Amino acid sequence: DVKVTQSSRYLVKRTGEKVFLECVQDMDHENMFWYRQDPGLGLRLIYFSYDVKMKEKGDIPEGYSVSREKKERFSLILESASTNQTSMYLCASSPTEPTWEQYFGPGTRLTVT
Amino acid sequence: AQSVTQPDIHITVSEGASLELRCNYSYGATPYLFWYVQSPGQGLQLLLKYFSGDTLVQGIKGFEAEFKRSQSSFNLRKPSVHWSDAAEYFCAVGVSFGNEKLTFGTGTRLTIIP
């Protein structure tokens, strides 16, 4: 089975802090994705990556950055956390074909106070 | 731009009853369509997908979905729900503009009553 793990299930940070969310997949997938999930808004794509050291902006990249130094690891960075970034963050990975068949991690619920 | 609409925010069904969750999409070309399920406290799990061919697709956990091009719909069905089906369900469409990605609906929360 594909396994996607996220470093924390729950995280509480203060406004202005730099926050790192880590995601690791064990199936040698080329593609990795970061989403945020908010009630009534569904999942929205923040960033994605199709290869090591490669990244593409999703629909809501503002206030976020990413890093992919190794194939299995994709990090989401909040440079200066704000209260409007309180959300559930979901990481996913997928093989090259089909890209859309994404496998999700359990999520990190981030609260910024 | 592509979009996915799930008109029902919350549905309550009795255990053993049939279920239909609605999904409508807007996309100019032939869509790739998906249903995902999210159990409480969990990530999303792929239930089923439609790429081409037979418009009635079978998925895991006894779910099926039917693609109707004329109605731009991809509704999810199950003949008899179980208490363990209580979860949130997301419909998604896959689009390709150089880099393939998924666009999700806002989700339907399913409650099962005994």
pLDDT of residue A1: 66
Does A21 touch chain B if contact means CB atoms closer than 8 Å? no
Does B99 touch chain A if contact means CB atoms closer than 8 Å? yes
Burial class, A8, CB count within 10 angstroms (exposed 0-12 / middle 13-18 / buried 19+): middle
Does B101 touch chain A if contact means CB atoms closer than 8 Å? yes
Closest residue in chain A to residue B4, using alpha carbons only: A42
pLDDT of residue B112: 97
Interface A–B counts its CB contacts (< 8 A) at 57
pLDDT of residue B54: 87
Quick one: average pLDDT of A12-33? Answer: 95
Q: Cβ contact (<8 Å) for B101 and A33?
A: yes
State the Cα–Cα distance between residues B109 and B89, nearest whole angstrom.
Answer: 6
Task: Answer whether B89's CB lies under 8 Å from B36's CB.
Answer: yes
State the Cα–Cα distance between residues B38 and B48, nearest whole angstrom.
Answer: 13
Lookup: tokens for A42: 């569904």
Q: Which residues contact B74 (CB under 8 A, 6 or more apart)?
A: B23, B24, B25, B31, B33, B35, B50, B65, B66, B67, B68, B91
Quick one: average pLDDT of B49-70? Answer: 92
Closest-CA distance, A104 to chain B, in angstroms, reads: 6
Closest-CA distance, B87 to chain A, in angstroms, reads: 14
Closest-CA distance, B104 to chain A, in angstroms, reads: 6
Q: Cβ contact (<8 Å) for A100 and B90?
A: no
State the Cα–Cα distance between residues A23 and A89, nearest whole angstrom.
Answer: 10
Closest-CA distance, B39 to chain A, in angstroms, reads: 10
State the Cα–Cα distance between residues B75 and B52, nearest whole angstrom.
Answer: 16
pLDDT of residue B15: 97
**A100 pLDDT above the threshold of 80:** no
